[in-house]
């Protein structure tokens, strides 16, 4: 059986982002999926006036996501919502109307934060957008990684056994979700 391709979208641009480190750790926990971080920092802000002649970065991003079988979002929380760069990537991928690259791709959301509630607000705001975009989103287990700075070593490895076990369980559930919900190409 061919591995399912998963677009991993990290909602933080910071070089030493905790969310990027979590995303990379998740990629090692799911060897049965072919996972790739698709960068979003280079995307110009979405402007409908440019739909007829889109910037090359939009086209490249859309083509990469379109070629995937599912999407995994790993994001911090900014002001109880998703970072602007992530919202922009969602908008770029959802347009032009009727040509969304997100449509029917099985998704999942993990939020990680140095704070105690683990990005709960961003996680749920993102899920709200995914409902509209027709992304069947994994409901359980929910994944909010609080106090993330205490769970990683300086190389980005997960040092907490409970977190490692939880993320392994999460990725097993997501793998099953993708296999059950991915459209046949």
Identify whether the C-beta of residue 86 lies closer than 8 Å to the C-beta of residue 8: no
> Averaged over 147-151, what is the pLDDT?
93
Question: pLDDT-derived band of residue 185, with 50, 70 and 90 as boundaries?
Answer: low
Query: Which residue ranges form the domains of the chain, and what is each CATH number?
Result: 4-181 (3.40.50.360)
* Averaged pLDDT for residues 68-88: 96
Q: Give residue 148's pLDDT.
A: 94
Over range 128-142, report the average pLDDT: 96
Total length of the chain: 185
pLDDT band (50, 70, 90) for residue 184: low
| Mean pLDDT computed over 174-185 | 87
Residue 111 forms beta bridges with which residues? 75, 144
Q: Is 1 a residue whose pLDDT tops 70?
A: no
Mean pLDDT of the chain: 94
Q: Please give the average per-residue pLDDT across 42-52, as a whole number.
A: 96
Residue 145 above 60 pLDDT?
yes
Edge to edge, what strands does the sheet with 4-10 contain?
33-37, 4-10, 70-75, 107-112, 143-145
């Amino acid at each position: 059986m061919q591995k399912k391709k998963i677009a991993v979208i990290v909602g933080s641009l910071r070089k030493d982002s905790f969310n990027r480190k979590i995303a990379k750790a998740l990629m090692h926990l799911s060897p049965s999926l072919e996972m790739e971080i698709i960068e979003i920092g280079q995307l110009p802000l979405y402007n409908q006036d440019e739909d007829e002649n889109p910037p090359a970065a939009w086209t490249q991003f859309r083509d990469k996501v379109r070629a995937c079988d599912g999407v995994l979002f790993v994001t911090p929380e900014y002001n109880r919502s998703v970072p602007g760069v992530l919202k922009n990537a969602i908008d770029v991928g959802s347009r032009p109307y009727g040509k969304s690259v997100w449509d029917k791709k099985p998704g999942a959301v993990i939020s990680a934060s140095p704070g105690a509630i683990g990005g709960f607000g961003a996680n749920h705001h993102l899920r709200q957008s995914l409902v509209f975009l027709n992304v069947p989103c994994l409901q359980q287990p929910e994944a909010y990684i609080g106090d993330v700075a205490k769970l990683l070593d300086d190389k980005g490895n997960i040092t907490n056994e409970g977190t490692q076990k939880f993320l392994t369980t999460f990725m097993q559930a997501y793998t099953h979700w993708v296999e059950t919900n991915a459209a046949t190409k």
